[in-house]
Amino acid sequence: MSFPTHRPRRARQSAPVRRLMRETHLVPSQLVLPMFVREGIAEPQPISAMPGVVQHSMDSLRRAVTEAAEAGLSGVMLFGVPSVRDATGSAADDPDGILNVATTAVAEEVGDALVVQTDLCLDEFTDHGHCGVLTPSGAVDNDATLERYASMALAQARAGSQLLGLSGMMDGQTGVVREALDEAGFTDTLIMAYSAKYAGAFYGPFREAVDSQLTGDRRAYQMDAANAREGVREAILDVEEGADAVMVKPGLPYLDVLAEVRASVDVPVWTYQVSGEYSMVEAAAERGWIDRRATILDSLTAFRRAGADTILTYWATEAAGWLREQL
């Protein structure tokens, strides 16, 4: 009788052995919590398409970032939801605008414990919902938008943001923002470029989260879902322009791109587990179709296995608690 020469099952025989042989490790410090703060509200407002996620008031934001710090997260990424919007998103670089005011508050609350991060994009602040300034014909004007991004970068840095998340997908945005920061003396402010940000349907619940005014789509500036090599090229360009980290977004549908970017650049690579990914898991778990906790941890581990150094996820604080239980 012939028996197997190789027995890989030896490495899976018990929980302690599996921990010993594990190739990929997930810890709370690899997680960042995206957070929405809305102007003019006294209590947090639930987001119906994202059960468990809210638009924060200033008070609830302070409580939530303290909880995030205590959970051992590495940072929080702030998104502002203004009361008034206009064509150029003027509230985005207003020192008294909701995102900048919230940034200062968070920096004062947990700036010594977390990296305070801000989304640098115009879509939340424009009355047309696009990520840039529009031409008379309705197209996004790349170079005019870069001027707005430079102004936003300075406003966010002055407010206390330690890392700017450049998510607008304009050509040259990293170089322009880096130059503006350096000339103003903000040489220590980090840039994380959303290098490979794909257009598609996975952002649907986010539209409610930021009360998006978008008409049409963003396919003229966000990437085609069919293109992987282009994502690598974008990441390399951002590194050349001065990015301290690069992003692949969304997460699970683009694990192949994430792996290729990780192999192609020498800076940290991030990914974003976007609203659609979150909502699908929550909906299936609510119906009893999947094990919620196991599915969340499986997905986060997949990002790490594909090469992500840092993961933005709406489950960050909760998942950090689970990970600490496993220690």
pLDDT of residue 208: 86
**62 among known catalytic residues:** no
Q: For a pLDDT cut of 70, what percent of the chain falls above it?
A: 100
Please tell me the predicted confidence (pLDDT) of residue 117.
98
Which of 148, 218, 249, 262 is catalytic? The answer is 249
The answer on pLDDT for 214 being more than 90 is: no
Q: Which of 56, 85, 148, 197 is catalytic?
A: 197
Q: pLDDT tens across 274-317, in order?
A: 999 999 999 999 999 999 999 999 999 999 999 999 999 999 99
CA distances from 152 to 88, 91, 106, 166, 233 (A): 12, 9, 18, 10, 26
Q: Which residues contact 126 (CB under 8 A, 6 or more apart)?
A: 85, 86, 87, 88, 89, 213
pLDDT over 80 (residue 327): no
Task: Encode pLDDT of 242-252 as tens digits.
Answer: 999 999 999 99
Give domain limits for the chain: 27-326
- Please tell me the distance from the alpha carbon of residue 276 to that of residue 220, in angstroms, as a whole number: 21
Neighbours of 185 (CB within 10 A): 10
Per CATH, which fold does 27-326 belong to? TIM Barrel (3.20.20)
Report the run of H or E that residue 271 belongs to, with start and end.
strand 269-273
How many angstroms separate the CA atoms of 277 and 184, rounded? 38
Distance CA 237, CA 222 (A): 15
Active site residue 25: no
Question: In whole numbers, what is the pLDDT of the chain averaged over residues?
Answer: 96
Averaged pLDDT, 176-204:
96
What is the DSSP track for 41-87? -SS-EE-TTSTT-EEEPHHHHHHHHHHHHHHT-SEEEEEEE-S--BT
